[in-house]
């Protein structure tokens, strides 16, 4: 089971002195947000430094410790003069800006010094760190889930009840953040892998169930590896240019002390060179690692008498998701101006592109479209009337430099919207682009927008979550999805039944297998009524809907079958209309 629990920390003052810097293996920096953070060290430290003086005016440091009468300890209370592996440290950054804590890891020669063990004298809450070179995630690793909590905490003898990730609410935006959030994620030992992977330099809270329990870890003398990248005209892939023209070779590296690019013998850990090229050439980079080792990479530049200029067309992620568009402006309360329908990217490859004409298909099943606009950012490039669901923007003078992308947007004026849903769609195809490029490929198609003169507008709040719990010894999983969303009544009062109004589709491996009714309560504000929740015109009500679903055993394949829940459907009793706030999707979860 997973819970969200409120922040309840009361911490006070402590400071301690840095040790003198001696034999340092390497250093690693951690960003401390204003307020409370929770950190740990995965290795033995030679020393540490803060970006501000380490005084009580700037920082407080505490350890959650059930064996203390107050539940908290300072480093001095623990007899520590330095941060120690397996401990989690609450650090309060009292400044108004982000600060840095730098760990200087000690070079250790004795294998015994690389093994760690921590004992817990009584049951209760403790703050712990992660020191497990085999399973723990590096602070800079990706967000893929390896289910490492159970593997790391398997070393805990004596038992634990649950673990709390105090940094969970910032994980999606910044996985390496050590900032203590306002909402935490808790998982019991039987469902411990529902937590995000445990990461080095982060700290966690654990509830120990038995006195004298032990927790162990270890470190390797692994050093940061050198890495390099080299590009030709901005691309790591093979590039073709016209013979006797120039190509830009650029390179960058991490954890390197020196680099050489050949041919040309260009040096520097990063840089770029514009090179005249007459024959096909492979450019290679070799770098010496700061902590040893060598890193290499290369890129191929081919030459030709003529290079075909290609223009690639694709949808831009800023294209609106399928939702309701309320057109309630104008004298008849049935109009809307410059509604965004589709954003698309045009990428020019192997040369500059000049576009003179763009045609698009635009349709609205109920209502009218007086004008269609082509935007470049906030600038209107052209506007035209719609004829038989087609529009053509001619006499354009749109230039796209080689290996760059231009994003354009289609917007429409809407008239005569109705209480009946009108489906608004747009498409731009390769055949609709007139340019000097030898080839044009790709297409861009909008999501369907539902146009009404009155109705609800749905807005998702945060990210819908999907969690899993195994069911006994069976091959099934119990899934729980939580959706939080606002319903904004525009042009009419919106009435939502107190139950069975929201339906969620269950998808396994991208195929819908069933639909499930969501459970929800009356919002705390913005509604009146009991059997019917009425949202007055112009008001907003926030709903939290939960959906539970048991994955059938015939689709259960551990780590292979993936489920997600999406697309809440709202049935509004006023007029018996059905509305679809599309794109309400949870994450995928292995079942």
Report the side by side order of strands in the sheet with 24-32: 24-32, 99-106, 45-50
Residue 36 belongs to domain spanning: 2-218
Number of domains in the chain: 4
Neighbouring-strand partners of residue 27: 104
- The answer to whether residues 206 and 240 belong to one domain is no
Mean pLDDT across the chain: 86
CA dist., res. 366 & res. 164, Å (int): 52
- The answer to whether residues 327 and 233 belong to one domain is no
- The answer to whether residues 527 and 387 belong to one domain is no
Q: What are residue 190's phi and psi, to 5 degrees?
A: -75, -15
pLDDT at 241 > cutoff 70: yes
- The answer to whether residues 510 and 422 belong to one domain is no
How far, CA to CA in Å, does 246 sit from each of 172, 186, 304?
42, 57, 13
- 3-class DSSP state for residue 320? coil
Cα 74 from chain centre: 35
- The answer to whether residues 357 and 441 belong to one domain is yes
Residue 192 binned pLDDT confidence (cut-offs 50, 70, 90): very high
CB count, 10 Å around CB of 494?
Answer: 27
- The answer to whether residues 509 and 491 belong to one domain is yes
Give the position of tokens 């369907």.
448
- The answer to whether residues 245 and 199 belong to one domain is no
Look up residue 538 and give its DSSP letter: T
CB count, 10 Å around CB of 91?
Answer: 25
- The answer to whether residues 384 and 528 belong to one domain is no
Q: Single out the residue in 434, 452, 470 at which a domain terminates.
A: 452
Closest C-alpha to 58, from 89, 16, 20: 16
CA dist., res. 139 & res. 492, Å (int): 50
Q: Which two tokens stand for residue 147?
A: 């289910």
Closest C-alpha to 65, from 47, 49, 78: 78
- The answer to whether residues 31 and 140 belong to one domain is yes
Tell me the average pLDDT across 317-328: 88
3-state helix, strand, coil in the chain (%, to 5): 5, 55, 40
Neighbouring-strand partners of residue 248: 274
Tell me the average pLDDT across 202-206: 96
Tell me the average pLDDT across 64-87: 95
> Which pLDDT score is estimated for 579?
62
Q: What are 344-389's pLDDT values in tens digits?
A: 999 998 889 999 999 999 999 999 999 999 999 999 999 999 999 9
Residue 10 binned pLDDT confidence (cut-offs 50, 70, 90): very low
Q: Which two tokens stand for residue 9?
A: 């920390």
Q: Single out the residue in 437, 452, 467 at which a domain terminates.
A: 452
Q: Single out the residue in 276, 304, 332 at which a domain terminates.
A: 304
How many degrees, rounded to 5, is the angle at CA 414 between CA 408 and CA 415?
A: 160
Residues, the chain, total? Answer: 591
Look up residue 430 and give its DSSP letter: G
- The answer to whether residues 102 and 177 belong to one domain is yes
The structure's pTM equals 0.52
């Amino acid at each position: 089971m997973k819970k969200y629990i409120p922040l309840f920390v009361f911490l006070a003052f402590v400071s301690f002195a840095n040790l003198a810097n001696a034999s340092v293996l390497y250093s690693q920096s951690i960003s401390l947000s204003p307020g409370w953070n929770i950190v740990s060290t995965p290795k033995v430290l030679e020393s540490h430094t803060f970006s501000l003086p380490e005084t009580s005016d700037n920082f407080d440091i505490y350890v959650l410790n059930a064996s203390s009468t107050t539940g908290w300890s300072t480093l001095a209370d623990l007899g520590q003069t330095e941060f120690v592996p397996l401990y989690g440290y609450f650090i309060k950054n009292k400044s108004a800006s982000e600060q840095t804590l730098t760990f200087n890891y000690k070079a250790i020669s004795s294998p015994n010094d690389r093994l760690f063990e921590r004992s817990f004298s009584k049951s209760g809450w403790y703050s712990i760190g992660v020191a497990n070179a085999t399973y723990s995630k590096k602070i800079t690793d990706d967000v893929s889930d390896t289910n490492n909590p159970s593997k790391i905490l398997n070393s805990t003898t004596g038992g634990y009840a649950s673990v709390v990730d105090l940094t969970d609410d910032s994980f999606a935006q910044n996985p390496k953040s050590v900032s203590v959030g306002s909402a935490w994620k808790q998982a019991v030992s039987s469902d411990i892998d529902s937590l995000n992977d445990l990461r080095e330099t982060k700290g966690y809270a654990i509830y120990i169930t038995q006195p004298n329990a032990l927790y162990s870890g270890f470190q390797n003398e692994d050093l940061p590896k050198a890495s390099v990248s080299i590009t030709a005209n901005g691309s790591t892939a093979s590039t073709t240019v016209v013979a006797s023209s120039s190509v830009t070779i650029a390179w960058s590296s991490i954890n390197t002390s020196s680099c050489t690019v050949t041919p040309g013998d260009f040096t520097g850990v990063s840089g770029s060179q514009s090179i005249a090229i007459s024959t096909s050439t492979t450019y290679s980079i070799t770098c010496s690692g700061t902590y040893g080792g060598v890193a290499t990479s290369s890129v191929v530049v081919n030459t030709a008498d003529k290079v075909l200029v290609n223009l690639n067309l694709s949808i831009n992620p800023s294209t609106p998701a399928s939702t309701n568009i309320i057109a309630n402006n104008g004298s008849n309360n049935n109009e809307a101006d410059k509604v965004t329908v589709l954003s698309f990217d045009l990428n020019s490859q192997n040369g500059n592109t000049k576009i003179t004409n763009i045609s698009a298909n635009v349709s609205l099943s109920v209502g009218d479209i007086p004008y269609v606009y082509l935007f470049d950012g906030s600038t209107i490039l052209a506007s035209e009337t719609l004829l038989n669901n087609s529009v053509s923007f001619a006499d354009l003078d749109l230039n796209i430099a080689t290996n760059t992308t231009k994003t354009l947007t289609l917007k429409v004026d809407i008239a005569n919207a109705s209480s009946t849903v009108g489906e608004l769609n747009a498409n731009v195809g390769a055949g609709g682009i007139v340019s000097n490029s030898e080839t044009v490929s790709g297409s861009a198609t909008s999501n369907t927008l539902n146009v009404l003169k009155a109705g609800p507008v749905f807005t998702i709040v945060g990210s819908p979550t999907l969690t899993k719990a195994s069911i006994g010894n069976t091959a099934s999983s119990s899934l729980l999805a939580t959706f939080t969303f606002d319903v904004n009544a525009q042009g009419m009062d919106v009435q939502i039944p107190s139950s069975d109004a929201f339906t969620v589709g269950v998808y396994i491996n991208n195929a819908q297998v069933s639909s499930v009714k969501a459970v929800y309560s009356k919002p705390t504000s913005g509604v009146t009524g009991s059997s019917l929740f009425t949202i007055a015109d112009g008001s907003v009500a926030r709903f939290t809907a939960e959906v539970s679903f048991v994955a059938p055993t015939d689709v259960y394949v551990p780590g292979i079958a993936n489920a997600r829940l999406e697309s809440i459907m709202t049935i509004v009793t006023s007029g018996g209309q059905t509305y679809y706030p599309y794109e309400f999707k949870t994450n995928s979860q292995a079942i």
